[in-house]
Amino acid sequence: MSSITTPKVNQGDSKHLYTVIVLGASGDLAKKKTFPALFGLYKNKYLDQNTRIIGYARTKMDQTTFEGHVSKYIKLKTEADKAALQQFLKLCSYQDGQYDQDKDFQNLEKHILEVEKASGSTARLFYMALPPSVFIPVATSLKRNNYHSVEKDGILTRLIVEKPFGMDLESSRKLGRELGALFNEDEIYRIDHYLGKEMVKNLMILRFANVIFGSVWNRQSIDNVQITFKEKIGTEGRGGYFDEFGIIRDVMQNHLLQILSLVAMEPPVSLSAEDVRDEKVKVLRFIPPIVKENVLLGQYGKSEDGKEPGYLDDKTVPHGSKTPTYAAATLFIHNDRWSGVPFMLKCGKALDQQKTEIRIQFKDVPGNLFTGLSRNEIVIRVQPNEAVYVKMMNKEPGLGMKTIISDLDLSYSSRFNDSVIPEAYESLILDALNGDHSNFVRDDELDAAWKIFTPILKTIDQGAIDPIPYAYGSRGPKGVSEFVAKHGYTRGEQAYVWPLHSEAGKDATGKDQQFKNKSN
Ligand SMILES: NC(=O)C1=CN([C@@H]2O[C@H](COP(=O)(O)OP(=O)(O)OC[C@H]3O[C@@H](n4cnc5c(N)ncnc54)[C@H](OP(=O)(O)O)[C@@H]3O)[C@@H](O)[C@H]2O)C=CC1
Ligand SMILES: O=C1O[C@H](COP(=O)(O)O)[C@@H](O)[C@H](O)[C@H]1O
């Protein structure tokens, strides 16, 4: 049985023991992602057992309430997990304070110093799980009251920053300038949690460690690429926040574009963070801004049965808002490898299913030896049910020479069933502790990304594109199939059913359902 690569066991930066300070510790992100990820690392011994965790936020909480908050989303499967959580909570403490008061950050400093004295830690990782409005005030207060350097005091400081990194090119640059005046680029870790997902991290290996993929990864062989993000849930509970941003800023400009850059970049000189990020920036700079003609927007309404509310039914959403909850956009990369190949990014909320996938569709087979062929596709399923499958034509078993569509299927659940896939946040926090920037967004990468999206976002913000309504729980707005077809995606003549590798996937005769497919 093969095993997937697990992060190297490293107790943080080799010579440093960390105190992790979570700012915004009372919030949603901290409770749903940050604390569970820190616990996951602790439990699996990727975090030094002497690491200390301090929460900081405005809400007043005693230790018991804080522990309840830390534990709320931690899943405990075994008795050993329960025991580990009790040990983990002993490492956690909380301090309340405002986000713009020096005296409160001085109190935090006293708390950190006490913790450092007791644990012997020599490095601080500040994790900003905060809304963008307090981002710079907090960074300024930290720099004034809690910043140390290895050179001056033997203490290392690192800062993890969460998106959104601005609203457009201008605001992102302003944020970058203000943050850059406080911290060095090598102290900043901008999180795009999609870069911590197993299948996104797998992209470089698939591309650059397989000669069979490497040699066809270009415009000569590939017809079009789709990167799709679908969520079943709507904006429930965060409509007010979401309305300021819309789906393009929420998902497409960051998560999907990061995936695109890994799919499309040239091989890096080495796996070093700077070499990888140099290539990602380079490919983004070959992409001109998205034009209106290559965009389709949607906004969800009530579900067909009327049970699920529409986006505009949310009282926190401004009346008559045109904010898109669905977007499809086609980008082109004007370089030798990709010229003319459409990269379609699609994302939406309140859709028929949850999935994130990369679908690389190849050109038609030249000539007319066979008819009714479907195109080859490489599909990389990021989530759920991680998989890589290659759709290909095969001879239908039996007498005759009929073709049938089939697949080479690498489903992680059956191939790597003894391996645990780490949560994206676990992987990224470990990288930050280890000082590895490869899977974090560099400032010039951000700049290149905003250049692609800012003009179309301005057009959308002016209300110049009406979103097409779609029902909650549907495939998206009418026109999506035509949109992808316009940019070259062909569904093929043969119906394709995945046999599922289970009894449910067999028909009455015990044959895989796949063989019931109609072929030429
Ligand atoms: N290892 C694994 O896990 C494997 C799983 N499978 C599963 O088998 C099933 C079929 O796989 P696959 O061949 O890749 O998918 P299909 O080719 O059936 O369809 C996928 C693509 O076509 C689009 N699409 C779906 N329905 C329509 C429609 N009615 N009109 C136009 N476009 C449509 C989808 O778009 P959109 O998503 O945007 O709606 C998507 O881009 C999937 O559920 C897949 O996950 C297959 C092989 C291996
Ligand atoms: O950043 C975001 O991502 C989530 C989806 O993340 P996932 O890991 O669950 O796929 C999305 O729901 C949210 O709107 C967005 O801000």
The closest-lying atom of ligand 1 relative to the alpha carbon of residue 475 is 39
Distance from the alpha carbon of residue 336 to the mean position of ligand 1, in angstroms: 30
Query: Distance between CA 509 and CA 347 in Å, rounded?
Result: 40
* Catalytic one of 69, 193, 255, 487: 255
* Mean pLDDT over the full length of the chain: 92
Q: Which residue has the least CA distance to atom 15 on ligand 2? A: 250
Residue nearest atom 3 in ligand 2 by C-alpha distance? 251
**Residue closest by Cα to atom 14 of ligand 2:** 250
**Mean pLDDT across 488-506:** 70
Whole-number Å distance between alpha carbons of 306 and 398: 49
> Which pLDDT does position 368 carry in this prediction?
85
Does pTM surpass 0.90? Answer: yes
Spacing, Cα 146 to ligand 2 middle (Å): 31
3-state helix, strand, coil split of the chain in percent (to 5) is 40, 20, 40
- 510: helix, coil or strand? coil
**Shortest-distance atom of ligand 1 to CA 379:** 14
Q: Is the CB of 251 under 6 A from ligand 2?
A: yes
Distances (CA, A) of 493 to 107, 469, 481, 487, 499: 68, 29, 15, 18, 18
Strands 387-395 and 403-411: antiparallel
255 as an active site residue: the answer is yes
Cα(342) to ligand 1 centroid in Å equals 19
User: Is pLDDT above 60 for 315?
Assistant: yes
Ligand of minimum distance to the alpha carbon of 253: 2
Phi and psi torsions of 322, nearest 5° = -105, 15
- Predicted confidence (pLDDT) per residue in 387-419, tens digit: 999 999 999 999 999 999 999 999 999 999 888
Under the banding of pLDDT at 50, 70 and 90, the label for residue 90 is: very high
What ligand 2 atom has the least distance to the C-alpha of 354?
10
Question: What does the pLDDT look like over 123-155, one tens digit per residue?
Answer: 999 999 998 889 999 999 999 999 999 999 999
pLDDT above 90 (res 79) = yes
Q: Is the pLDDT of residue 510 over 50?
A: no
**Distance of CA 194 from the midpoint of ligand 2 (Å):** 9
Per-residue pLDDT, 11: 43
What tens digit of pLDDT does each residue of 260-269 get?
Answer: 999 999 999 9
Coil, helix or strand at residue 138 = helix
pLDDT of residue 13: 55
Q: Find the ligand nearest to 383 CA.
A: 2
Cα distances (Å, whole numbers) of residue 360 to 375, 431, 480: 10, 29, 17
On the question of pLDDT at 192 being above 80, the answer is: yes
> Over 70: is that where the pLDDT of 517 sits?
no
Q: Give Cβ neighbours of residue 10 (< 8 Å, ≥ 6 apart).
A: 46, 430, 433, 434
Q: Over 60: is that where the pLDDT of 277 sits?
A: yes
Site to substitute for ligand 2 among 233, 243, 250, 383, most atoms within 8 A of C-beta: 250
Q: Are 143 and 187 in contact (CB under 8 A)?
A: no
Whether ligand 1 lies within 6 angstroms of the CB of 379 is answered as: yes
